[in-house]
Amino acid sequence: MKFSFLTVTRGWKTFYRFQQRGVLSADQRLWSSALKCSRSSSQLCKEKCFYITTPIFYVNAAPHLGHLYSAVIADCLHRWKLLQGFESRFATGTDEHGLKIQQAADAAGKDPLTFCTEVSQRFETLFSSCSVSFTDYIRTTEQRHRWAVEHFWSVLWHKGLIYKGSYEGWYSTQDESFLMPSQVSDALDPSGKEVKVSLESGHKVEWMKEENYMFRLSSFRSLLLDWLVKNPGAVQPERFHQAVLQWLQEDLPDLSVSRQRSRLQWGIPVPGDPEQTIYVWLDALVNYLTVVGYPEKHERWWHVAHHVIGKDILKFHAIYWPAFLLGVGLPLPQVIHVHSHWTVGGRKMSKSLGNVVDPFEHSQMFTNDGMRYFLLRQGVPDTDCDYTHDKVLKLLNAELADSLGGLLNRCTAPALNPAQVYPVFCSHSFPRDRRGRAVEEDYHMVETVRSLSTVVEKHYESMQVYKALEAISACVRQTNGFIQRHTPWKLDRRDSKDVRWLDTIIHLTLECLRVYGTLLQPVVPEISDRLLTRLGVQSQERSWKDLDFLGRYFGTDCSFEGRPLGSNCGLLFSRLETQSGDKQKTMKSKKPAQ
Ligand code: MSP
């Protein structure tokens, strides 16, 4: 798309018209057009669809554990929606423009595009190897993205929401962010020189004075407040929602949305003004629209957009992005899911501290699913979490190897299950009137596992995956307790009553495992696959609607009863060695099921 000088002049006229009409009435028009837009598009998509994104990753450095965490959370939500029968689209990719990328490429002695391509491929390889099942991978250096950004810019321009002005203030190149004086403090750099740094990120800031294009962010303050108040779930968890509301109580100045070309060449030129480059955050945020075909065919997916982001980029997603979208008249994202950060030794990961965790190395050490399980089981969106090798090891050995693996091992081992089948449930042994061999705790377990899917649904839905995993893990422990309590290996196989009771114990345990395996699919896809395959559950029997726990007890059929078990693919999860080289003391599952 080409823009002539005439287009630019026309844009100016529009802007003056906009000003003459007054900001309030313009606000109202914008608001009602955005609302109209979201109403008509929600009528557009009657079927169940879902669109989830990760932030796009800066390519100035190699991927680290924090990046993998953002991607794994989004992947988990995507897989969860698929499990529920949604059509889901999942986008990730790389953010390749801007000064810091330009500087990183220079430092590496490479031309920027070659440099970006190399690092972008490392992100793509990492995600593919960790089962991050994205459906779209976007790079901001792609032509389709450039068109989308140019179009987006031109809509803002024609609506009079961008004007030429001058910006004077602090800028952090590391964060690609403009800062108010109150967000800056004094510090000393490693050589002892006095510098100014961002209070939030600690990154160095510089004073910048430039002629550039400004976006009328200030006129969106009341609209943004209105959106957040009317949509209390728009930014989750709640504390981040409150943080955005708090920011909006303060001054919201207009935003500089371009840099002089002489200072920044690596970016998309402003349409109609090649002397200016579009601000990297405006460029980057539009990626979410590019993926779904903006400007021609984005409606179907756009109104079901969910963003996963880290807490450091909240302002860009919950203030700038909604303001831009209101400006162009597009619906706002449904939910912005915010997560906190991983620290190492209590400190932010950084190259200079030498505490960056390499996700390639660690997912090899702990397996891909092991890494995913740890990040999602220990990562609490509300607060930062500290990463230690020891914690990973202990958690995975306890919950995946011993508890879950041990349970599967127990009821599929030939010693206890010589026929290698999903045995028959006997309702005399485990009757609803509680007059059989089952005891009170067993009934309690059945009720807990029956309601597990509802609990898990609630937590997956709100991205509190650690709570879902906590609930599943508690149930696995209860099921191990059930087996332990009834010591089925002591039952007499010559006694038909004992045999019926033994079969019932195994049937019930396998049913529990089927539920756990199904519910764990979004988190540990490979382990779940091994588990369900071993139980003989076919791939088309693994969705949310197939859960139907313990039909034989609750009065329906059980299509698994009497079926042969699936093939034995070995240990569900092998115990990990401690750093001293010893295997930790095992519970009951030293050997794979034979
Ligand atoms: N390029 C921007 C995003 C643009 S989206 C339109 C960016 N990139 S980033 O590579 O710096 O960060 C990408 C994601 O990684 C962010 O969600 C960020 O919060 C996350 N993490 C970076 N360090 C992290 C930790 N130490 N822990 C957890 N996540 C962290 O920002």
d(CA 461, CA 63): 27
d(CA 160, CA 408): 64
Regarding the beta carbon of 60 and ligand 1, being less than 6 Å apart is answered no
Q: Report in angstroms the alpha-carbon separations of 381 from 73, 315, 467.
A: 10, 17, 11
Question: Tokens representing 133?
Answer: 């099942």
- Structural contact between residues 166 and 159, judged by C-beta atoms closer than 8 angstroms: no
Question: Tokens representing 452?
Answer: 């597990």
Regarding the beta carbon of 349 and ligand 1, being less than 6 Å apart is answered yes
Per-residue pLDDT of 41-70, as tens digits, reads 444 554 799 999 999 999 999 999 999 999
Amino acid letter, residue 417: N
d(CA 144, CA 128): 23
From atom 13 of ligand 1, which residue's Cα is the shortest distance away? Answer: 57
Per-residue pLDDT of 321-376, as tens digits, reads 999 999 999 999 999 999 999 999 898 887 777 889 999 999 999 999 999 999 99
Regarding the beta carbon of 283 and ligand 1, being less than 6 Å apart is answered no
Best residue among 73, 201, 312, 325 to mutate for probing ligand 1's pocket (most ligand atoms within 8 Å of CB) is: 312
β-bridge mates for residue 2, sequence order:
none
CA atoms within 13 A on the CB side of 190: 3
Report CA(339)–ligand 1 centroid distance (Å). 10
Domain residue spans in the chain?
401-564
Total residue length of the chain: 594
d(CA 458, CA 455): 5
pLDDT (tens place) for every residue of the chain, 594 residues total: 333 323 333 333 333 333 333 333 444 444 444 444 444 444 455 479 999 999 999 999 999 999 999 999 999 999 999 999 999 999 999 999 999 999 999 999 999 999 999 999 999 999 999 999 999 999 999 999 999 999 999 999 999 999 999 888 899 888 888 888 888 999 988 888 899 999 888 889 989 888 999 999 999 999 999 999 999 999 999 999 999 999 999 989 999 999 999 989 999 999 999 999 999 999 999 999 999 999 999 999 999 999 999 999 999 999 999 999 999 999 999 999 999 999 998 988 877 778 899 999 999 999 999 999 999 999 999 999 999 999 999 999 999 999 999 999 999 999 999 999 999 999 999 999 999 999 999 999 999 999 999 999 999 999 999 999 999 999 999 999 999 999 999 999 999 999 999 999 999 999 999 999 999 999 999 999 999 999 999 999 999 999 999 999 999 999 999 999 998 878 999 999 876 554 444 333 334 333
Angle between the N-to-C axes of helices 525-535 and 496-520, in degrees from 0 to 180, rounded to the nearest 10: 150
- What stretch of H or E contains 248? helix 238-249
Question: Tokens representing 224?
Answer: 């943004």
Angle between the N-to-C axes of helices 465-486 and 496-520, in degrees from 0 to 180, rounded to the nearest 10: 170
What is 401-564's CATH superfamily?
Isoleucyl-tRNA Synthetase; Domain 1 (1.10.730.10)
* DSSP secondary structure of 26-75: HHHHHHHHHHHHHHHHHHH--S-EEEEEPPPEESSS---HHHHHHHHHHH
pLDDT (0 to 100) of residue 399: 98
Q: Which of 514, 401, 33, 462 lies closest to 234 in space, CA to CA?
A: 462
pLDDT (0 to 100) of residue 45: 54
Report CA(314)–ligand 1 centroid distance (Å). 10
Regarding the beta carbon of 285 and ligand 1, being less than 6 Å apart is answered yes
Q: Return the SS3 of 258.
A: strand
pLDDT (0 to 100) of residue 103: 93
Regarding the beta carbon of 338 and ligand 1, being less than 6 Å apart is answered no
pLDDT (0 to 100) of residue 166: 86
Amino acid letter, residue 54: T
d(CA 324, CA 322): 5
Regarding the beta carbon of 66 and ligand 1, being less than 6 Å apart is answered yes
Regarding the beta carbon of 272 and ligand 1, being less than 6 Å apart is answered no
Number of neighbouring beta carbons within 10 Å of residue 329: 17
Q: Which of 470, 429, 464, 465 lies closest to 448 in space, CA to CA?
A: 470
> In degrees rounded to 5, what are phi and psi of residue 353?
-80, -15
d(CA 560, CA 424): 9
- Structural contact between residues 282 and 256, judged by C-beta atoms closer than 8 angstroms: no
Report CA(311)–ligand 1 centroid distance (Å). 8
pLDDT (0 to 100) of residue 44: 52
State the maximum Cα–Cα separation within the chain, in Å, rounded to a whole number: 95
Relative to the CA of 343, which ligand 1 atom is closest? 26
Regarding the beta carbon of 308 and ligand 1, being less than 6 Å apart is answered no
Peptide bond between residue 488 and the one before it cis (omega within 30 degrees of 0): no
Per-residue pLDDT of 147-200, as tens digits, reads 999 999 999 999 999 999 988 889 988 888 888 888 899 998 888 889 999 988
Question: Tokens representing 428?
Answer: 């005399």
Neighbouring residues of 179: CB distance < 8 A, sequence distance ≥ 6: 169, 170, 171, 172, 198, 205
Relative to the CA of 342, which ligand 1 atom is closest? 27
Q: pTM for this one?
A: 0.90
Regarding the beta carbon of 410 and ligand 1, being less than 6 Å apart is answered no
Q: Return the SS3 of 323.
A: helix
Best residue among 67, 288, 382 to mutate for probing ligand 1's pocket (most ligand atoms within 8 Å of CB) is: 67
Amino acid letter, residue 456: V
d(CA 216, CA 222): 13
Question: Tokens representing 553?
Answer: 């007890």
